[in-house]
Amino acid sequence: MGRVSPVDIEIKGELVVKKGDRISARHIRKIEGAKLKLLDMPKEALYGQVIAKDILDKTTGEIVIEANTVIDEETLPVLEELNLARFKKYSK
């Protein structure tokens, strides 16, 4: 079973996945075929997602957020403070 899309996913004006629908293999093929690499999402859509890799402070090298941390009300402000422009989505 696919994940539920937190946002509408459109490619060139065509709605491919409606917000709240499960993302199927057919959707993924369509997205990959269009070479869609980035997806704009509201920050609230990150709640409940899991950090895949340790996030380091670039100046000190200190681990700021450990891998496998769930993004919640405490971790999201830290991510915003680090001014991360992009998040890479990893899947199993």
63 sits in which H/E element: strand 63-65
What percent of the chain clears pLDDT 90, i.e. is strictly above it?
A: 46
- Please tell me the predicted confidence (pLDDT) of residue 92: 46
14 sits in which H/E element: strand 14-17
What number is the average pLDDT over the span 72-79? 91
Domain residue extents for the chain: 1-41, 43-81
Q: pTM score, two decimals? A: 0.65
